A and B are shown apart, each in its own frame.
Chain A
Amino acid sequence: MKTRVILGVFVVFWGLSIAVSVSGQGGTAVPAQKPPAAPKGNAENGGKIFTSYGCYQCHGYEAQGGAAGPRLGPRPIAFATLSRYVRAPTGQMPPYTAKVVSDAEMADIYAFLQARPEPPDVENIPLLR
């Protein structure tokens, strides 16, 4: 809860910063803040638990997504956002609480998602032209 409040304040502050900078009002413009960096994780272990914990069932073995779940990687959404959702999803996804997935494991999974290879350029795939 405390984390959510802090994050909420941060988001409000970030939003206000954007508003001030684009309005040209007030004093010196505040540059947009980047979300905090994801904790360092082990992509190899992340891949193993992405499978064994069942994430692949909806998102595919390569996190490419499918009918049951969206694509997660490469270029996943911010770690904090992903982690928050995985712990307490608001849609159809079943929850992965801290009891079953530790913060360290979450970081490993995130590292795995970041490490997914970029797809080939569609223009270079004759079957998709």
Chain B
Amino acid sequence: MSEDLAVDRRGFLKSAAATGAAALVGGAAAPVAAQQAAASGPATAPIAAREVDPPREVDALTTDRPGGDFMVDVLKTLDFEYIASNPGSSFRGIHESIINYGNNRMPEFITCCHEESSVAMAHGYYKAEGKPMAALCHGTVGLQHAAMAIYNAYCDRVPVYILAGNSLDATMRRPGVEWAHSVQDAAAMVRDYIKWDDLPVSLPHFAESAVRAYKIAMTPPMMPVLVVIDGGLQEDPISPEVKARLRIPRLTLTSPPQGDAGAVAEAARLLVAAENPVIVADRLARTPAGMTRLIELAETLQAPVIDQGGRMNFPSRHPLNHSEGGRQLIANADVILGLELTDFWGTVDAFRDSLVRTSRPLTKPGTKLISITAADLYTRGNYQDFQRYPEVDLAMAADAEATLPALIEACKRLIDASRRSAFTERGKRLANTHHAMAERTRNDAAFAWNASPISTARVAAELWAQIKTEDWALVSESGNMSDWPQRLWMFDKPYQHLGGSGGAGVGYGAPAAVGAALANKKRGRLSITIQGDGDFMYAPGVWWTAAHHQIPLLAVMHNNRAYHQEVMHLQRMANRHTRGITRAHIGTTIDNPNIDYAKIAQGMGVHAQGPITDPKDLGPAIKRAIDVVKRGEPSLIDVVTQPR
């Protein structure tokens, strides 16, 4: 760095103002000077007046060490592979530092067409990669756009790392847009659904806050974090005084909290003694170890597992996977273990959405409920994603995946010959039931096999036929397709299912899939997404991002030409009011005209086919698409399907 050119912008303007004020003789300048002197107090420099031109000898035009460069130094220590962003002037400084000083590597700048896409890409990326991705946006309009995606990540307990640009010093803002894009407290708008935020006022402060934010984000329960980066800090040259203080703190990740030893022992006692234990897992698998540990627990107890699908918790064809027959299991259970459940109450109670809303417990009287969830360590008040209060018998405020090893060992110590024999018998019964359910599922899939619109079972089966020999990953939800992928495919690897949006904010699907596919790209995995038509239309520009950054992703559309959940909601209302039962399509369907999604995707450089309405055309279309994806590009197939 050239020391001679390391001129602090505020510093030279300060000296210039003092010179300018001293040049005036009495008159108007005197009250100003007096106010400044009075305001400054003892032993402090006078506040600079900005409305003067700097002297020519300090009219610096360039610097080769802006603050943004140091910010990139910090980001590199946090090992970000990518930073997703729709470009904006409030962070032009760090943007330039990323692409030039940082050589656009670690992180690489991913160009998005909407901030919702940036954050949702980071959401999907984390779930595939296991480490955070950064997103960069305006502190005002950018965060406003990103808000829903941030909320989804918050509800889904995913650590998205957000940097937001702002211009705090009012006297430094360019007239016009920079004022509309500036805010006193940028994080205020999203503070209810992020875990931590800060507004560093110096580069050393930024270094500490950036590292601290990462640590906090990655401590269970994980959630998004936000660091606001002032434009002046990004763009101003690093002064010698600041340079002398620059250092990057070492990141130390926390060990996730484990359950209390006494509670673990009690849980083991209940589970081993139970005749009909049930294990329910939702966001359990925080790392690949989560699935391995749950398999060990289930096999130790020969207990059925209901996988609620918040993460890839349990292999789909394991004989102890009883996700399909879950409700009956809950009704017969004497002990239920919930592992990172979003909604324990909803798991053990039935709620009727009728004119008069009622609920009833699904469990028998006396059933023991055990909860292990990090969510009990951190519950916010405003947004109500925490669901109804569950009346459990044993509640461990702990990370379930981290607690499982101790629970498994505690169970093993209690199992004697008698229990082992009982478990063996139970395991045989459960295996038989599992196989019977699988057979029933196959038979169910055959109904409407040749129908048009195409059955969702047919779509899933056609896909499976062509991906099952590949290293594949489903990077989307499939509940709207009646979970046919989960019911027909063999999920047995930790990365093959990522769960859902968390907050059910529509528009998550496309960008999250692109983000996950970005993570999978380097491993040569075949990423597959079931793309809803309504979801597609929220911010379709992410498909351009996929084409531009050559992100291989196979998208098969679940095109039921509607916001179908809302069609059903409206139908419920019409029926309840005994009127207009043929009008639920008004305001809910996406037809007339039918959108040509293939054409939209092609317009953004994505290989695309469709609309496909004949199930016989599906197989060949999937093959063509896979060939494209294997070349390293995205491909989309528009399939007109049954509603669910």
Please list the residues of chain A having a beta carbon within 8 angstroms of any beta carbon in chain B: 52-54, 56-58, 60-62, 64-69, 71, 91-92, 94-97, 99-101, 119-122, 125-128
Q: What class of interface size applies to chain B in its complex with A? A: 35 or more
B437 CB within 8 Å of chain A? no
Q: Is the CB of A60 within 8 A of B581?
A: no
Q: Is the CB of A122 within 8 A of B582?
A: no
In the complex with contacts A54-B571, A67-B482, A60-B643 CB distance below 8 A: yes
Please list the residues of chain B having a beta carbon within 8 angstroms of any beta carbon in chain A: 352-353, 442-451, 453, 455-456, 461-462, 464-465, 479-480, 482-483, 488, 564, 567-568, 571-572, 574-576, 578-579, 581-582, 584, 642-644
Q: Is the CB of A119 within 8 A of B446?
A: yes
B642 contacts which of A61, A94, A121 (Cβ < 8 Å)?
A61
CB-CB nearest 5 A-B residue pairs:
A66-B644, A94-B575, A64-B448, A119-B446, A64-B447
In the complex with contacts A91-B352, A95-B575, A66-B449 CB distance below 8 A: no
In the complex with contacts A54-B584, A57-B567, A62-B447 CB distance below 8 A: yes
Residues of B within 8 A of A127 (CB): 461-462, 464-465
A57 contacts which of B479, B482, B568 (Cβ < 8 Å)?
B568
Q: Is the CB of B448 within 8 A of A62?
A: yes
Q: Is the CB of A68 within 8 A of B461?
A: no
Q: How far is the CB of A82 from chain B (nearest CB, A)?
A: 16
Q: Is the CB of A71 within 8 A of B447?
A: yes
Residues of A within 8 A of B461 (CB): 125, 127-128
Q: How far is the CB of B163 from chain A (nearest CB, A)?
A: 39
Q: Is the CB of B455 within 8 A of A100?
A: no
Q: Which partner residue on chain B sits nearest A56 by CB separation?
A: B643
C-alpha gap A76/B564 in the complex (Å)? 25
C-alpha gap A52/B581 in the complex (Å)? 8
C-alpha gap A56/B568 in the complex (Å)? 10
Q: How far is the CB of A35 from chain B (nearest CB, A)?
A: 23
Q: How far is the CB of A73 from chain B (nearest CB, A)?
A: 9
Q: Is the CB of B571 within 8 A of A57?
A: yes
C-alpha gap A62/B452 in the complex (Å)? 9
Q: Which partner residue on chain A sits nearest B483 by CB separation?
A: A67
Residues of A within 8 A of B445 (CB): 122, 128
Interface of A is mostly: loop
Q: Is the CB of A122 within 8 A of B442?
A: yes
B571 contacts which of A94, A99, A128 (Cβ < 8 Å)?
A94
Q: How far is the CB of B533 from chain A (nearest CB, A)?
A: 15
C-alpha gap A28/B605 in the complex (Å)? 79
Interface centre among A60, A67, A91, A127 (most CB of B within 10 A): A127
Q: Is the CB of A119 within 8 A of B449?
A: yes
A122 contacts which of B353, B443, B465, B574 (Cβ < 8 Å)?
B443
A65 contacts which of B444, B571, B572 (Cβ < 8 Å)?
B444
C-alpha gap A65/B479 in the complex (Å)? 14
B455 contacts which of A52, A54, A60, A92 (Cβ < 8 Å)?
A60
Q: Is the CB of B644 within 8 A of A62?
A: no
C-alpha gap A62/B464 in the complex (Å)? 23
Given A62-B642, A99-B578, A119-B448, 15 other A-B residues pairs in contact with their CB atoms under 8 A: A53-B581, A58-B568, A58-B643, A60-B643, A61-B642, A62-B448, A62-B455, A64-B448, A67-B483, A67-B644, A94-B576, A95-B575, A121-B446, A122-B445, A128-B445
C-alpha gap A64/B582 in the complex (Å)? 21
Q: Is the CB of A66 within 8 A of B643?
A: yes
Q: Is the CB of A60 within 8 A of B442?
A: no
C-alpha gap A121/B442 in the complex (Å)? 10
Q: Which partner residue on chain A sits nearest B439 by CB separation?
A: A122
Residues of B within 8 A of A66 (CB): 456, 482, 642-644
Q: Is the CB of B464 within 8 A of A64?
A: no
Q: How far is the CB of A97 from chain B (nearest CB, A)?
A: 6
Could you list 23 examples of A-B contacts with CB < 8 Å?
A: A54-B582, A54-B584, A58-B643, A62-B642, A64-B447, A66-B456, A66-B644, A67-B479, A67-B482, A67-B483, A69-B644, A71-B447, A94-B571, A95-B575, A95-B576, A97-B578, A100-B575, A122-B445, A122-B446, A125-B446, A127-B465, A128-B442, A128-B446
B451 contacts which of A64, A94, A95, A99 (Cβ < 8 Å)?
A64
C-alpha gap A15/B209 in the complex (Å)? 74
Residues of A within 8 A of B455 (CB): 60, 62, 64
Q: Which partner residue on chain A sits nearest B450 by CB separation?
A: A120
Q: Is the CB of B582 within 8 A of A53?
A: yes
C-alpha gap A127/B465 in the complex (Å)? 6
Q: How far is the CB of B78 from chain A (nearest CB, A)?
A: 40
Residues of A within 8 A of B442 (CB): 122, 128
Q: Is the CB of A61 within 8 A of B453?
A: yes
Residues of A within 8 A of B576 (CB): 94-95
C-alpha gap A56/B561 in the complex (Å)? 13
Q: How far is the CB of A129 from chain B (nearest CB, A)?
A: 8
Q: How far is the CB of B489 from chain A (nearest CB, A)?
A: 12
In the complex with contacts A61-B451, A128-B445, A92-B352 CB distance below 8 A: yes
C-alpha gap A99/B580 in the complex (Å)? 11
Residues of A within 8 A of B447 (CB): 62, 64-65, 71, 119
Residues of B within 8 A of A94 (CB): 571-572, 575-576
A120 contacts which of B444, B449, B574 (Cβ < 8 Å)?
B449
Q: How far is the CB of B616 from chain A (nearest CB, A)?
A: 12
Q: Which partner residue on chain B sits nearest A57 by CB separation?
A: B568
C-alpha gap A127/B462 in the complex (Å)? 7
